[in-house]
A and B are shown apart, each in its own frame.
Chain A
């Protein structure tokens, strides 16, 4: 069964450093998303991406964040200057179509645990 993959599984960084989180969405999917989950809290939407541009972003997704699809398979989330409060699990998701309709299920990757020291 096709799945979303993410690397690395765990990233430890110093405050102020840049990090890039990588995702490979399911190959025939066209819509891509990043979510994050701070430990003990709910999953929160960050950004959606389609046709090489951001479709929508939340208020969490400020100027420190950016997304890119550098080639035909990878989808990346960059945090330019990490803060302590960026420590969280970051999930990538993808869907075949835009909902609400058949095929709109968002499939999540296993996540990258980001720890900012």
Chain B
């Protein structure tokens, strides 16, 4: 069974704090890894892809450990606008398909 597990939330942090989210996935054949962001009652939006070498985009850093089947997201200097649910997403290729498997998400509230 393909599962993606995330930290239970919610995370309530003050502005300027650093916050880390963790995620594990069960399907060792998973090929691509992403963090999506979802605002309340809105669609998921791609935040960043996650590469084996780790990658950084401004205040956001993502890491992947394939051996441990573990993905992380670090947000530095949190802003009020970072308040959202962060979704860990993995993929695997089927026969002519490429479906996304989502975690349940971790809710972040950044407090003034």
Count the B residues whose beta carbon is within 8 Å of the partner chain — how many?
25
Q: How far is the CB of B66 from chain A (nearest CB, A)?
A: 13
Q: Chain A nearest CB: distance from B87 CB in Å?
A: 7
- Among B38, B93, B97, the residue within 8 A (CB) of A100 is B93
Q: Contacts A56-B94, A104-B32 known; A91 to B102 CB distance under 8 Å?
A: no
Q: How many chain A residues have a CB neighbour from B under 8 Å? A: 29
Within 8 A of B (CB), among A71-107: 89, 91, 93, 95, 98-100, 104-107
Binary B-proximity of A44-73 (CB < 8 A = 1, otherwise 0): 110010100001101000000000000000
Question: Which residues of chain A are within 8 angstroms of B105 by Cβ–Cβ distance?
Answer: 42
Task: Identify which of residues 1-55 in chain A touch chain B, using a CB-to-CB cut-off of 8 Å.
Answer: 31, 33, 35, 41-45, 48, 50, 55
Given the interface contacts A42-B103, A105-B46, A110-B43, does A98 sit within 8 Å of B96 by beta carbon? yes
Closest Cβ of chain A to B24, distance in Å, is 15
Chain B residues with Cβ below 8 Å from A93 are 100
| Distance of A93 Cα from B38 Cα, bound (Å) | 14
B positions within 8 Å CB-CB of A: 31-32, 38, 41-46, 49, 87, 91, 93-105
Binding site for B on A (CB under 8 A): 31, 33, 35, 41-45, 48, 50, 55-56, 58, 89, 91, 93, 95, 98-100, 104-111, 113
